[in-house]
């Protein structure tokens, strides 16, 4: 499977197309993928069977397993055989499937991004998956995946696709760099990128990002799995030996409870740090001509290519824990990233000093390099403050009361620390007040900025010409108070990115709605 | 309006099913279940009969040279403005009930979602569609 770009591109007719097949490693990953669905039933049956001494049962079980394995094996070989791709002068052809044949032709100018991904197994086998995403339309259908392309070939193919795309579009083709055809590049170097390095995540920033990420999701999942595991695997006899009387007694002891809570909190924190390190390790942002290349990850190295002119909006997010350190996360909304997990939005840089953001954007996306702080944001009218505080406070108070009732039943009475959850309510009030204080908008001839706060303070920067539509809504309560919620939509993924600024003054809202007419600004005629 | 009646009928059936299940589970007198269902059904029927005319009254749209301006909504009032230069394509759609009464809806799409102007007469819908299509083409330069 040597890759030979020139002849294919030189040929004119479809008949002369040379088809390429994926690396044989495709069969290994396909087999594992085919078997994945059987693992859980297999394990369940195995466990269910282990207690009984039934020979026929075991035989049937082994027989079924063998058949499944055989069929999956044949399936993977056939899948590999029928998974082919070819480059013609103006399009990429991908054929796959046997029963449900899929033949796909992607004109080069439709290609939006070309991503290389390598899961640990892929890396072990020296291959990469290549994801090719096209402009909006049809859900996940707008995505093509070339599985198991040899890494050297993958990089060359990616270069070639991007170059072909630019040639077809009539843009200036970039200098064909030295990265072109060297098939023999060592695997570790292949994943490194062309283009000039703009910014790299330092180890300190990485650890700070983890420590302030405030996510407890992964930790909760691990604890959940752990409990499940303990329940299933640990033999009943061991459970019987636990002195439950003492455990129940201890569970009512304040210091034990506090200890358990602190241990879980610290564990969750460590898991969050580890998760962030795994995800964002070695984060690099590069600019390669008119594309940005982002790559990150410790085990599963991810790589995304973003055409700069497809970026619709930039979001600067300052988490509650990060704001005091003066750090922010920069995210982007890009048109036509269909099928991406977050529907067109992604991380441009996970953790950087907020006062360096403008400088960074000046290099990677000049259209968005604006002064976020001056002039100041237009703020909301005083009368919208209650709307930011009251509803959330009441619902949090309701939850706190539920928790306190729980504690009361559990402890046979309410000890002094049972009132501690009440502290949550003033925190919610303060957060609501902060949300009100930070909410605002700012519009100049070219760019609209919206600022809101959930927990993190989020500043949206979007050129007015990128706004697809804008709207304002008023529910009956807002209507009575003369307030509206302003919403704008930018192109992003399949659904678009929608941003709202709740509880603006109705006159301000109307004025802003009309002022956002793309013709009123300047500079919208270019590009 | 017919659509709303249909919606009310479905809603009533759902209410009936819930009432039946609740009656089986909690074993209260069947008259309570019947009363509750009747009440819900009456409410949704009233809504179905009254709200369409009000909603119809509340619907406004204006097609300007460079933008489409929509104002609608009974409970939540919404004003939407879509620049012509952002409209990708325009359709008219007609459901079976709409066909029966010679009505059609105009649907137009941006890269961030679609918008509908509902229940125009056939000719009006066609002319609105053509008008938007023509203006959207003019403003394609952005």
- B49/B101 same-domain check: no
Q: What percent of chain A has pLDDT over 70?
A: 77
A493 touches chain B (CB under 8 A): no
Asked if A123 and A28 touch (Cβ cutoff 8 Å), the reply is: no
- Mutate which of A142, A460, A469, A494 to disrupt the B interface (most B C-beta within 10 Å)? A469
What integer pLDDT is reported at residue A54 of this predicted model?
65
The reply to whether B67 and B126 lie within a common domain is yes
Report the pLDDT value the prediction gives residue A1, as an integer from 0 to 100.
42
pLDDT of A243 over the 80 cut: no
Specify whether B67 is located in the same domain as B133. Answer: yes
The phi, psi pair for A370, rounded to 5°, reads -125, 160
Chain A residues lying within 8 Å of B77, measured CB to CB: 473-474, 479
Distance from CA of A474 to the nearest CA of B (A): 5
- Give me the residue spans of the domains in chain A: 204-280, 284-380+439-515, 382-435
Position A461 scores a pLDDT of 94
Highest mean pLDDT among A241-250, A406-415, B23-32: A406-415
ipTM above 0.90, yes or no: no
User: A527 or A374: which carries more pLDDT confidence?
Assistant: A374
| Alpha-carbon span B142 to B122, nearest angstrom | 31
CA distance A391 to A395: 6
User: Is some CB atom of chain B closer than 8 A to the CB atom of A251?
Assistant: no
Provide the pLDDT for residue A507: 92
Q: What is the residue whose two structure tokens read 């995540």?
A: A201
Distance, in Å, from the CA atom of A200 to the CA atom of A283, rounded to the nearest integer, reads 6
Range of B67's domain? 61-138
Q: Which of A79-93, A157-171, A440-454, B99-113 has the highest mean pLDDT?
A: A440-454
Is A523 a residue whose pLDDT tops 60?
Answer: no
Does B106 share its domain with B40?
no
**Do B99 and B127 fall within a single domain?**
yes
Residue-level pLDDT at A217: 60
Residue B57: Cβ-neighbour burial (10 angstroms; 0-12, 13-18, 19+): exposed
List, in sequence order, the alpha helices (H) in A170-300.
187-190, 203-211, 217-233, 236-241, 244-251, 254-280
B114 and B85 in a common domain: yes
- The whole-number pLDDT of residue A182 equals 34
What's the token pair of residue B19?
A: 């009432």
Determine the average pLDDT of the residues in A13-34. Answer: 76
Q: What is the mean pLDDT of residues B45-68?
A: 83
Residue range A335-354: mean pLDDT, rounded:
70
Q: Mutate one of B58, B66, B111 to test the A interface: name it (highest A CB count within 10 A).
A: B111
A215 falls in which pLDDT band (50, 70, 90)? low
What integer is the mean pLDDT of A222-230? 67
**Do B132 and B72 belong to one domain?**
yes
CATH of the domain at B86: 2.30.29.30
Whether B41 and B80 share a structural domain: no
Our count of domains for chain B comes to 2
Q: Give the minimum alpha-carbon distance from B89 to chain A in angstroms, rounded to a whole number.
A: 13
How far apart CA B8 and CA B72 sit, in angstroms, is 22
Note whether B20 and B43 are same-domain residues. Answer: yes
Last residue of a domain, which of B56, B75, B102? Answer: B56
- The reply to whether B69 and B131 lie within a common domain is yes
Q: What is the mean pLDDT of chain A?
A: 78
| Boundary of a domain, candidates B12, B33, B56 | B56
Tell me what the pLDDT averaged over chain B comes to.
Answer: 81
B65 shares its domain with B133 = yes
In this structure, the answer to whether residues B106 and B84 fall within a common structural domain is yes
Average of pLDDT values for A473-477?
Answer: 91
């Amino acid at each position: 499977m040597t890759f030979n770009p020139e002849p294919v591109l030189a040929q004119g007719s479809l008949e002369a197309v040379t088809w390429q097949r994926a690396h044989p490693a495709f069969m290994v990953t396909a087999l594992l993928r085919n078997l994945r669905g059987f693992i859980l039933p297999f394990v369940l049956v195995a466990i269910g069977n282990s207690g009984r001494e039934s020979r026929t049962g075991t035989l049937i079980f082994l027989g079924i397993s063998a058949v499944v394995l055989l069929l999956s094996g044949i399936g993977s070989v056939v899948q590999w055989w029928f998974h082919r791709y070819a480059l013609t002068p103006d399009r990429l052809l991908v054929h796959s499937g046997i029963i449900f044949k899929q033949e796909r032709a992607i004109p080069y100018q439709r290609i939006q991004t070309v991503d290389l991904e390598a899961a640990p197994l892929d890396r072990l086998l020296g291959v990469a998956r290549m994801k090719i995403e096209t402009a909006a339309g049809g859900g996940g259908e707008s995505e093509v995946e070339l599985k198991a392309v040899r890494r050297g070939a993958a990089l060359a193919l990616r270069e070639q696709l991007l170059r072909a795309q630019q040639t077809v579009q009539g843009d200036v083709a970039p200098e064909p760099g030295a990265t072109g055809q060297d098939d023999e590049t060592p695997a570790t170097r292949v994943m490194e990128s062309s283009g000039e390095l703009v910014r790299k995540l330092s180890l300190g920033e990485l650890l700070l990002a983890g420590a302030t990420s405030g996510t407890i999701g992964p930790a909760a999942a691990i604890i959940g799995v752990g409990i499940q595991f303990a329940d299933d695997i640990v033999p009943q006899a061991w459970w019987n030996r636990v002195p439950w009387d003492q455990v129940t007694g201890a569970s009512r002891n304040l210091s034990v409870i506090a200890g358990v809570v602190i241990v879980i909190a610290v564990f969750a924190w460590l898991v969050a740090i580890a998760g962030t390190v795994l995800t964002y390790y070695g984060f690099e942002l590069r600019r390669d001509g008119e594309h940005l290349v982002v790559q990150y990850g410790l085990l599963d190295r991810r790589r995304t290519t973003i055409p700069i002119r497809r970026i619709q909006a930039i979001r600067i997010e300052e988490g509650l824990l990060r704001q005091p350190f003066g750090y922010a996360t920069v995210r982007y909304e890009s048109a036509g990233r269909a099928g991406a997990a977050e529907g067109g939005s992604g991380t441009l840089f996970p953790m950087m000093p907020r006062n360096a953001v403008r400088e960074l954007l000046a290099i990677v996306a000049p259209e968005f390099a604006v002064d976020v702080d001056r002039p100041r944001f237009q703020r909301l009218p005083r009368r919208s403050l209650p709307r930011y505080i009251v509803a959330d406070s009441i619902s949090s108070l309701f939850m706190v009361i539920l928790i306190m009732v729980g504690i009361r039943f559990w402890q046979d009475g309410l000890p002094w620390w049972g009132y501690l959850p009440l502290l949550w309510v003033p925190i919610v009030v303060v957060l609501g007040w902060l949300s009100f204080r930070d909410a605002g908008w700012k519009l100049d001839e070219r760019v609209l900025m919206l600022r809101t706060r959930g927990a993190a303070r989020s500043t949206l920067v979007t050129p007015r010409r990128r706004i697809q539509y804008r709207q304002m809504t008023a529910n009956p309560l807002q209507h009575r108070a003369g307030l509206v919620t302003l919403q704008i939509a930018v192109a992003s993924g399949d659904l678009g990115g929608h941003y709202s600024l709740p509880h603006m003054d109705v006159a301000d809202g109307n004025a802003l709605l009309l002022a956002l007419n793309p013709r009123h600004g300047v500079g919208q005629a270019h590009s | 309006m017919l659509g709303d009646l249909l919606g009310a009928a479905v809603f009533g059936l759902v209410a009936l099913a819930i009432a039946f299940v609740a009656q089986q589970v909690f074993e209260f007198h069947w008259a309570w279940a019947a009363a509750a269902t009747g009440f819900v059904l009456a409410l949704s029927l009233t809504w179905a009969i009254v709200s369409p005319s009000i909603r119809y009254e509340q619907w406004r749209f204006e097609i300007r040279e460079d933008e489409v301006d929509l104002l609608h909504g009974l409970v939540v009032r919404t004003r939407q403005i879509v620049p012509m230069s952002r409209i990708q394509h325009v359709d008219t759609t007609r459901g079976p009930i709409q066909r029966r009464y010679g009505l059609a809806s105009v649907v137009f799409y941006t890269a961030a979602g679609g918008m509908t102007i509902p229940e125009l007469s056939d000719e009006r819908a066609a002319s609105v569609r053509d008008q938007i299509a023509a203006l959207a083409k003019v403003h394609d330069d952005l």
